[in-house]
Amino acid sequence: MIMSITVKLPDGTAKDYPAGVTPREIAEDIGPGLARQALAALVNGLPVDLSRPLRESADVKILTPRDEEALHIFRHSSAHLLAAAVTKLFPDAKYGVGPPIEGGFFYDFAVEHPFTPEDLEKIEKKMKELSKEKIRFEREEIPKSEAIAKFETLGQDFKEELVEEKGGDVVSCYRLGPFYDFCEGPHVPDSGVIKAIKVLGSSAAYWKGNEANAPMQRIYATTFYDKKSLAEHLKRLEEAKKRDHRKLGKELGLFVIRPEAPGQVFWLPKGLRVVNGLMEYMRAKLDARGYQEIKTPLIMNVDVWRRSGHLDHYKENMYFVESEDTEAGLKPMNCPGAAMVYESSLRSYRELPLRLSEFGHCHRYERSGVLSGLTRVRAFVQDDAHIYCTLEQIESEIVALIDLTVEVYGDFGFEGVKVELSTRPESSIGSEEQWEAAEAALQRALESTGTEFKVNPGDGAFYGPKIDFHVQDAIGRTHQCATIQVDFVQAERFDLHYAAEDGTRKRPVLIHRAILGSIERFMAILIEHTAGAFPIWLAPVQVVMLPISEKHHEYAARVAGHLRDEGIRVEVDDRNEKIGRKIRDAQLQKVPFMLVAGDKETEAETVAVRNRKDGDEGASELSAFIERIHRLVRDKALSP
Ligand SMILES: [Zn+2]
Ligand SMILES: [Zn+2]
């Protein structure tokens, strides 16, 4: 007699099937439309192949392109297709790992020669051919020793190593035609599902990301469910390339990074003007919210870092210096400095919450291979603050921080703020009770502000849980910026206390938080978000005077003088160039306003206004123009 099992579907209906039924058969039973769309299934929340027989009663959800969980499986399957194409064209290639990443996937290969652009074209073509062949993904479960022998025969050392490292007696492997891979799965049913394919490029990599290991070639690619979505994605990538902050940073004269100081930024005058603008902006916000600004040393004795826990948990990311026979560490975080400021006087409950802000200059070691523009650096300034408060004040402080963050991101025109709550990681300090109390306080604050959030289990810092904010930029990419972090540990480590109302000594609770995050990284995001066209209140040059010929130089200089007296950042382009060229250059520099000065303007003492967005506006009285600039700056207008 065949046993029957009960399958519960997402809509709550339950149905009995013979044991051994597959998700595909269930999908077919529900309807041919669903069966056609089906890519994989969730069985009791775990992803499985459509062909996996079900032995016991379970909750089953059929995944189609409409389900978020399906994309990972789709891209992961696409990585197998990429490797199948590569090994077909380059039979000697040894394959490593190939995970999905944001916007696509990659696969690493050890090959004799780096892939050329022509190779990549051939690989894309081969992927498309293999897609047309509708090759099935076939799962097999075999003893570990058999898998090792199999990969040895295939000459696939990396896979052999991975199988060896994996525990358990039985391992799962997948076949895609002749391509054989060690993989947990699941996958889409066959290669025919993957139709919209683009190989994006390749770069150097190392086995397991370690420079001491074998060099590899990483091929980046992406796939979409349909050609239209792929085309849209490629267009976005093109736009992102145009907006690349490293490219714009050079063109707009904002910053340079040199081999003499890897991962550190030389801010040029225009770039620093924007950086200072950001800091002035944040200071005004913080002044209005009762913060007090401090500045603490960059280099402190190692005892400080021992006490803070950084030597135990963060040493490999720190820089150390020696002088007068003492070892000292460059601060990777500003927290211990703030603790010492707290300690500088006897604190009373009346002073709490004590909000100490600092534009803190931090140094953190990053491998040279991962450094990139302003986004991955070794030295950066955080718009940091440490809020010392009582247990009861945590929630209201966090509510205020959520409001501040949302307000700041709104001022820059970022949309779609997403929030994540990260909880206790494996390596951590602090007791169970402390962690639970901290996590609960963050959760309550998020709920009371009506903020939607996602929980990232185990993703917190070693000293406390945190809330991260992700914002969406003008071309739809998301970036992580603000962080709010509760810390029940530091006050104990640094023996901080305050005189409570009842006369006893109590420990304050600490909240670390940064709103912009690192100024360097925020600059990268802002440059790409605005394509270098900073809002006028931040623009390094707000107005450029364009005299038509030499006889208008004097008038242009006089107008510039007026503007400067009004606190407006102005430049005069008195090069011996045609006016058309001057306009084009000012436009490329994304200067919000251009004032053309010719005979007519000189005579009438007016200015001919152009703005970078809409071009020619016609003549304006100088006083009216000045008033307008002041108003745009005051309103933090996003465009002229
Ligand atoms: Zn796989
Ligand atoms: Zn801190």
**Do 27 and 39 form a contact (C-beta atoms < 8 A)?**
no
How far apart are the C-alpha atoms of 276 and 267, rounded to whole Å? 11
How far apart are the C-alpha atoms of 150 and 156, rounded to whole Å? 9
In terms of C-beta density within 10 A (0-12 exposed, 13-18 middle, 19 or more buried), how is residue 329 classed? buried
Find the 511 Cα to ligand 2 centroid distance in Å. Answer: 8
Find the 484 Cα to ligand 2 centroid distance in Å. Answer: 9
**Do 572 and 601 form a contact (C-beta atoms < 8 A)?**
no
**Closest ligand to the CA of 82:** 1
- Axis crossing angle, helix 519-530 with helix 227-243, rounded to the nearest 10: 120
Other CB atoms within 10 Å distance of the CB of residue 213: 14
**Closest ligand to the CA of 510:** 2
Find the 162 Cα to ligand 2 centroid distance in Å. Answer: 38
| Tokens 């390339």, located at residue | 241
Find the 333 Cα to ligand 2 centroid distance in Å. Answer: 6
Amino acid occupying residue 302: V
Residues taking part in catalysis? 335, 364, 382, 384, 386, 466, 512
Kindly state the tokens that stand for 331: 């601060």
Q: What is the pLDDT of residue 432?
A: 84
Could you tell me which of 410, 628, 411, 638 has the C-alpha nearest to residue 533? 638
Kindly state the tokens that stand for 208: 């397991």
User: Over the stretch 322-366, which tens digit does the pLDDT of each residue have?
Assistant: 988 899 999 999 999 999 999 999 999 999 999 999 999 999 999
Q: What is the pLDDT of residue 625?
A: 96
Q: What is the pLDDT of residue 1?
A: 60
N residues, the chain: 640
Find the 296 Cα to ligand 2 centroid distance in Å. Answer: 12
Question: CB under 8 Å to 521, separation ≥6 — which residues?
Answer: 374, 375, 377, 380, 479, 481
What are the residue ranges of helices labelled H in 166-268? 227-243, 245-251
User: Over the stretch 51-91, which tens digit does the pLDDT of each residue have?
Assistant: 999 999 999 999 999 999 999 999 999 999 999 999 999 99
- Axis crossing angle, helix 622-634 with helix 553-565, rounded to the nearest 10: 40
Looking at the predicted structure, is the pLDDT value of residue 400 above 70? yes
C-alpha angle 610-613-615 in degrees, rounded to nearest 5: 35
Instruction: Name the phi and psi angles at 383, rounded to 5.
Output: -85, 80
Full-model pTM: 0.80
Find the 509 Cα to ligand 2 centroid distance in Å. Answer: 12
| Tokens 């809509």, located at residue | 11
Find the 78 Cα to ligand 1 centroid distance in Å. Answer: 9
Across-strand partners of 197? 223
User: Over the stretch 273-303, which tens digit does the pLDDT of each residue have?
Assistant: 999 999 999 999 999 999 999 999 999 999 9
User: Over the stretch 534-543, which tens digit does the pLDDT of each residue have?
Assistant: 999 999 999 9
Residue 259 in 3-state DSSP?
Answer: coil
**Closest ligand to the CA of 174:** 1
What are the residue ranges of helices labelled H in 377-458? 394-411, 432-448
| Tokens 């304006």, located at residue | 620
Which residues make up the environment of ion ligand 1, defined by Cβ < 5 Å? 183
Which helix (H) or strand (E) element contains residue 383?
Answer: strand 379-389
**Closest ligand to the CA of 309:** 2
